[in-house]
Amino acid sequence: MFGLGTMELVLIFGVIILLFGAAKLPELARGTGRALRIFKTETKGLIEGDDDGVKDSDKHPAEKEIEARNAAAREAEIQATREPRDTTS
């Protein structure tokens, strides 16, 4: 694997355990898995040429929240430009 021997892999794994602690490794692995899953879905959408390459039900809750915030900000911006301006000074 990448030209690394058994001793090198054991050393790398030992340093990771020292840095993060054995209790944090499962949490670190879950976070990495989520990040890779989100990255995969985003790149899949780009490759297909579709802005919404992922169904809403397949999206991560954080992605849904960000999209909702962006939509609300766009709507507020549109409303602000539609409001009549007071020209009497």
Q: What confidence score (pLDDT) does residue 24 get?
A: 85
Q: What confidence score (pLDDT) does residue 89 get?
A: 53
Instruction: For residues 14-42, give the mean pLDDT.
Output: 88
First and final CA of the chain: distance in angstroms?
74
Instruction: For residues 44-48, give the mean pLDDT.
Output: 77
pLDDT of residue 87 exceeding 70: no
17-26, 53-62, 75-84: which is most confident: 17-26
Q: What confidence score (pLDDT) does residue 50 get?
A: 53
Looking at residue 35, its amino acid is A
pLDDT of residue 78 exceeding 70: yes
User: DSSP label at 59?
Assistant: S
Predicted TM-score (pTM) above 0.85: no
Helices and strands of the chain, counted as H and E runs: 3, 0
